[in-house]
Amino acid sequence: MPVEKYETITVDVKSGVCVVTLNRPGKLNAINEKMSDELRAVHRWVEKSESVNVVVLNGNGRAFCVGFDLQEADDSDSIPGVLENRKILESDLELIMGFWHCSKPTISAVQGYCLAGGCELALACDITIAAENAYFGEPELRFGVGIGCMILPWLTGPKQAKELYFTGNDRVTAQRALSMGLINQVVPEGDALRKALEMAREIAVMDTDAMMMTKKAVNRSYEIMGMQQGMSM
C-alpha cells in the first residue's frame, strides 16, 4: 500500500485490485490542486507496485467528478496569463492521460454527474462502466475555459465530439454515451462499482506481462495516428 496519508482520495488494494476513490463528495469530487497531486502520487506508486494488477477509479457520493475545481481558481490572488493557462492545461492533460498511459489496466465506475475534466478522467480509463443515473458532458466552453484533454474525437469521432464541445451539453445519458462508443456498459443505479470490481478481479488473475504488452500495443496504434500530438497544446 502507498504510505502517504491522502486528504482528497482513498486507496485500497486487495487481491491485485487497486481501488482509487475520489473523496470530495461535498464538492461533487471536483479536482483541486491537492487531489491532482495525490492522483499523480498514486500513478507513480501503481507503476512501481508489484501488488497491483488493475486499477479501479470511482467517486464517493452522488457524482463521479464534476471536473476541475473552478472555485479554487477563482479564489486565487493572481489571474493567469495565456502562457500560464497553457501550462495549466498541459498539466491537466498529463494528469488525465496518466490513466490512459498507465501500464496496468484501468477501469472507471461512474455514477451521477461525470463532467468536464471528470468526464475526460473517466473516458481515459481503458474500460468505463456507468450506472443508469450517470450523466456525461463537456461544458467547459460555457464557462470560457479551455478543454484540458481532447479525448472525445478519438473515441466517438469528430462530428459527435464537436457537438458535445460546442453545445456544452452536460446531460448526456449513459445510454447515449454507450451508443456513441464512449463507455462499455450501462448497469442499474448503484451497481457500477460492483460491476467494475467484478471485471477487475477477472483481469487481475491474468498474466501481467501479457496484459501490459497488449495494452501497450493497442495504445501504440493510437500514438501512430497522432493521438498524443493531436491533444497537446
Catalytic residues: 120, 140
3-class DSSP state for residue 19? strand
Contact assessment for residue 135 and residue 172, using Cβ atoms and an 8 Å cutoff: yes
Dig out the grid coordinates for 113 from the structure.
454527474
3-class DSSP state for residue 190? coil
Per-residue exposure over 203-222, b if at least 16 CB sit within 10 Å of its own CB, e if not: bbeeebeebeeebeeebeee
Spatial separation of the C-alpha atoms in residues 51 and 46, rounded to whole Å: 8
For residue 132, the tally of other CB atoms under 10 A from its CB is 15
